[in-house]
């Protein structure tokens, strides 16, 4: 597989020497660790396993087999989490993206590699990047075991505005599945929104003119957040409040800022416009973007059906109630738990 990285600092060509990349212009050295280029100085711990177990799992996966490693420690995970990391149908939304046998895909925050596994057979090459080396090592072992050879991974720097090691317009499809909300956690003196916009601008830079970005993410004003569910471990209901109030409360209670920003339908539109994306289409992944068994265009008529099927009164009564009170005209699609967003330049 041909990999063509450029220097994330100055975007000049890199020279590959033994176990490092060296920038021909700024002379920055980027080491290759465990076979994975490391374009980073820092990393974020991120695993469904606690740190000791993650190390043991990675070790067994690399020396023996990914499935076996997960199996041995599966008792430390809940059934939902186990399914979440094993299910490789989680990228079934790929049908709405311009992916063909010539396409190059970049999966940012690639985690367990489910998305890459689901996409690998449909495209030419996938780059997977993450802020955590252990995740990338596990992903590499998983691909090896599954005989997938068109996936190439690299680590990138979390505590910075995103700098990708690719030339302009060189990637056909970029995936941000469950990741944009975490970008603001970076240790940078900037608002989470600013960090997210800069990351989106950088993604736009590397996207080809006919390429597309897919974002899977939660809705700020969903029926779950309105019920007080803590989507990213934040305090209940604070995500619904104006940001300055949610920051104030979170600082008082937890001693830190609220930084895992998610947005409403209109909020995402504004964010993506600010990053320069013109064409933005919304979908409702059902039951959620974690397991998108259906992808419903975010249009009132389609979403209305979903709500009718999910209210806990009998179906005929539901239709009658909806008709009688004209409820079908209400914008229920804005309350979807999560969105699948397809955007292009």
The token pair at 140 is 């590499």
For the bound state, the minimum distance from the C-beta of residue 129 to ligand SAM, rounded and expressed in Å, comes to 7
Residues contacting residue 114 through CB under 8 Å, at least 6 positions apart: 84, 85, 86, 87, 88, 90, 91
182 binds ligand SAM (CB under 6 A): yes
Q: How far is the CB of 124 from ligand SAM (least distance, A)?
A: 20
Out of 14, 36, 103, 115, which residue is the one contacting ligand SAM (CB under 6 A)?
115
Residue 205 or 307: the one with the smaller Cβ distance to ligand SAM is: 205
Task: Rank residues 206 and 303 by Cβ distance to ligand SAM and give the closer one.
Answer: 206
**Alpha helices for 64-110 (secondary structure H):** 66-72, 79-86
Instruction: Decide whether 114 or 246 has the Cβ nearer to ligand SAM.
Output: 114
Question: How far apart (Å, rounded) are the C-alpha atoms in residues 218 and 290?
Answer: 10
Q: Which stretch binds ligand SAM (CB under 6 A): 2-10, 12-20, 109-117, 142-150?
A: 109-117
The distance of closest approach from Cβ of residue 168 to ligand SAM in the complex, given in angstroms and rounded to an integer, is 20
Note whether 135 binds ligand SAM by CB under 6 A: yes
Between CA 38 and CA 30 the distance in angstroms is 6
Question: With binding defined as CB under 6 A, does residue 340 bind ligand SAM?
Answer: no
Instruction: Please report, as residue ranges, which positions from 31 to 50 form the binding site for ligand SAM (by CB under 6 A).
Output: 44, 46
Distance between CA atoms of residues 254 and 257, nearest Å: 8
Which residue, 184, 118, 120, is CA-closest to 152?
A: 120
Task: Name which position in 6, 54, 61, 108 contacts ligand SAM (CB under 6 A).
Answer: 108
Nearer to ligand SAM, 37 or 111 (CB): 111
| 138-167 residues near ligand SAM, rule: CB under 6 A | 158
Map residues 247-286 to x or -, x wherever contact with ligand SAM holds by CB under 6 A. ----------------------------------------
Give the whole-angstrom CA distance, residue 269 versus residue 278. Answer: 9
Alpha carbon distances (Å) from 89 to 65, 115, 237 = 21, 8, 32
Cα dihedral 142, 143, 146, 147 in deg (nearest 10): -150
């Amino acid at each position: 597989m041909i990999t063509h990285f450029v220097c994330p600092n100055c975007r000049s060509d890199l020279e590959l020497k033994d176990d490092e990349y060296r920038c021909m212009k700024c002379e920055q050295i980027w080491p290759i660790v465990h076979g994975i280029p490391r374009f980073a100085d820092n990393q974020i711990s991120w695993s469904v396993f606690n740190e000791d177990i993650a190390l043991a799992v990675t070790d067994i996966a690399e020396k023996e087999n990914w499935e076996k490693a997960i199996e041995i420690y599966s008792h430390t995970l809940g059934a939902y989490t186990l399914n979440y990391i094993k299910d490789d149908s989680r990228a079934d939304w790929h049908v709405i993206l311009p992916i063909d046998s010539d396409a190059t895909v970049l999966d940012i925050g690639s985690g367990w590699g489910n998305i890459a596994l689901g996409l690998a057979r449909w495209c030419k090459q996938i780059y997977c990047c993450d802020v955590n080396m252990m995740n990338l090592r596990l992903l590499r072992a998983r691909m090896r075991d599954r005989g997938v050879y068109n996936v190439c991974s690299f680590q990138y720097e979390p505590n910075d505005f995103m700098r990708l090691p690719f030339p302009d317009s060189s990637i056909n499809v970029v995936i941000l599945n469950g990741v944009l909300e975490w970008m603001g956690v970076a240790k940078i003196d900037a608002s989470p929104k600013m960090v997210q916009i800069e990351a989106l601008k950088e993604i736009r830079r590397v996207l080809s003119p006919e390429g597309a970005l897919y974002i899977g993410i939660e809705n700020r004003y969903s029926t779950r957040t309105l019920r007080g569910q803590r989507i990213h471990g934040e305090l209940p209901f604070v995500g619904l409040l104006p940001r300055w109030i949610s920051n104030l409360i979170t600082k008082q209670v937890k001693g830190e800022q609220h930084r895992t920003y998610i947005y409403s339908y209109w909020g995402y539109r504004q964010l993506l416009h600010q990053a320069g994306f013109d064409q933005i289409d919304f979908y409702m992944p059902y039951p959620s973007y974690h397991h998108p068994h259906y992808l419903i265009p975010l249009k009132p008529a389609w979403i209305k059906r979903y709500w009718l099927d999910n209210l806990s009164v009998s179906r005929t009564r539901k239709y009658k109630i909806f008709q009688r009170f004209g409820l079908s005209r209400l914008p229920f699609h804005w309350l979807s738990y999560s969105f699948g967003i397809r955007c292009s330049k």
